[in-house]
């Protein structure tokens, strides 16, 4: 499990006073980016050096508890599934007292940059991502 701590920023809230819903998706992705970087596949590397990219084909989230500016939230990221040409990350957002405030998942496919077609997960990426499954 990879934990990514954040503090809700003013620009992430809206005039209704709470976190704007799409910002949770953005924050989930920030956590995912940080995890990818830790396992050697940061976006700078993916964009510059790899011949594939990892577009999101599906995303979903539940919003269980309103979040205010200044709230401290931990985002726990884990791998929920690894297929042949895709993988799924799962996210849990909790307050410091462990209250669950939100959750979500993102489904990614491995896409060849040139042909724009799906390819099998490269073995080094598969190995790196596998190390992030919940029961590892």
Binding site for a copy of itself (CB under 8 A): 7, 9-11, 13-18, 20-23, 25-26, 29-30, 33-34, 37, 42-47, 53, 55-64, 66, 68-71, 106, 116
| Nearest to a copy of itself of 44, 135 (CB atom) | 44
CB of 126 to a copy of itself, least distance (A): 20
Residues β-bridged to residue 74: 5, 94
| Nearest to a copy of itself of 69, 95 (CB atom) | 69
Task: Establish whether 30 is a catalytic residue.
Answer: no
Quick one: residue 58, left, alpha or beta (phi over 0 = left, psi -120 to 50 = alpha)?
A: beta
CB of 76 to a copy of itself, least distance (A): 18
CB of 19 to a copy of itself, least distance (A): 9
Helices (H), 7-74: 21-38, 43-49
Q: How far is the C-alpha of 76 from the C-alpha of 74, rounded, in Å?
A: 6
| Nearest to a copy of itself of 11, 98 (CB atom) | 11
Distances in Å between the alpha carbon of 115 and those of 52, 106, 110, 112? 10, 23, 12, 6
What are the catalytic residues?
Answer: 14
């Amino acid at each position: 499990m990879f934990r990514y701590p954040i503090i809700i920023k003013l620009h992430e809230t809206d005039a209704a006073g709470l976190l704007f819903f799409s910002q949770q998706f953005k924050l989930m992705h920030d956590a995912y980016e940080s995890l990818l970087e830790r396992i050697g596949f940061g976006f700078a590397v993916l964009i510059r050096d790899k011949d594939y990219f990892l577009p999101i084909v599906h995303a979903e989230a539940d919003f269980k508890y309103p979040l205010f500016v200044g709230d401290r939230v931990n985002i726990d990221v884990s791998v929920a599934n690894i297929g042949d040409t895709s993988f799924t990350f799962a996210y849990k957002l909790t307050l410091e007292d462990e209250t669950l405030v939100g959750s979500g998942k993102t489904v990614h496919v491995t896409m060849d940059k040139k042909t724009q077609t799906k390819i099998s997960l490269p073995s080094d990426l598969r190995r790196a991502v596998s190390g992030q499954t919940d029961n590892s």
